[in-house]
Amino acid sequence: MVVPDVVLRSPEGERTNATDRGLFWAGDLPPGESVKWNVQAPGTELRIDLDEKRTLGDKPGQLKPAPADTFVKLLAAKPPAVRLHGAMMLAYLHDARGREAAENLSDLSESDDRVRDMIVRAASPLFACNAGYKDGMLSACVVNDTENVVNNAVVQEVGPDGRRFPLAEVLPPHNGVAVHVDGFGTAAEELAIKIP
């Protein structure tokens, strides 16, 4: 069940005349498929509430993602947001097609373009995971999913003034190493691994 909440705002900025339009898709929506609705209502903003609370994962109560090939189908969809979702899920599955799909996306809004950039970084064969911060120290796993040994890698905070720290560790091919960076400081919103 999808419930768009269409709202008018008063000149003072208060929500008035909220109208819910309940939308329901009868039956299962197979992996790699999408549904599109058109809704008309007077309003100045729209919020969508979903009753699905489960998350992706392998733990009890979580949903297992569909196979990668089902998300490849979404890359041919007309709406750019659906193509973006397909690329994001391929990156989530560590499928190399995710990065290529994200790099080739076009006709995106400004906010979706920022998501596309995040997908490209997440689908990089060099990435950081399981980052933790304590007393100014960064602890993370750094993965090298390339065919080559990587020397002189740098952990970098994503952003215009992102902090950079060289890694002393050699990154073997198709492997990960635990790294610790003293003096990193506060938690970073996103990290990337770069080769200078």
The CATH number linked to 63 is: 1.25.10
Confidence at residue 43, expressed as pLDDT on a 0 to 100 scale = 66
- Statement to judge: residues 130 and 163 lie in one domain: yes
Domain that holds residue 29: 1-53
- By DSSP bridging, strand 154-157 and strand 126-134 are unpaired
Confidence at residue 49, expressed as pLDDT on a 0 to 100 scale = 65
- The number of domains in the chain is 3
pTM here?
A: 0.69
- Statement to judge: residues 130 and 189 lie in one domain: yes
- Statement to judge: residues 187 and 136 lie in one domain: yes
Domain end position, chosen among 123, 141, 164:
123
Confidence at residue 165, expressed as pLDDT on a 0 to 100 scale = 93
- Statement to judge: residues 27 and 44 lie in one domain: yes
- Statement to judge: residues 144 and 114 lie in one domain: no
- Statement to judge: residues 42 and 90 lie in one domain: no
- Statement to judge: residues 152 and 179 lie in one domain: yes
- Statement to judge: residues 111 and 97 lie in one domain: yes
- Statement to judge: residues 71 and 49 lie in one domain: no
The conformational region for residue 57 under phi > 0 = left, psi -120 to 50 = alpha, else beta, is left
- Statement to judge: residues 98 and 69 lie in one domain: yes
Q: Which amino acid is at 171?
A: L
Domain end position, chosen among 123, 154, 178:
123
Triad 192, 96, 124: Cα angle to 5°: 10
Domain end position, chosen among 35, 53, 71:
53
pLDDT tens, the chain, 196 aa long: 454 555 667 778 777 766 666 667 777 777 777 777 777 766 666 666 666 677 888 888 888 888 999 999 999 988 898 999 999 999 989 898 999 999 999 889 899 999 999 999 988 999 999 999 999 999 999 999 999 999 999 999 998 889 999 998 899 999 999 999 999 999 999 999 998 8
- Statement to judge: residues 134 and 103 lie in one domain: no
- Statement to judge: residues 115 and 142 lie in one domain: no
Confidence at residue 154, expressed as pLDDT on a 0 to 100 scale = 93
Residues 6+ apart with CB under 8 A from 38: none
For the four alpha carbons of 167, 170, 175 and 177, in that order, the dihedral sign comes to negative
Of the candidates 129, 139, 50, 62, which has an alpha carbon nearest to the alpha carbon of residue 94?
129
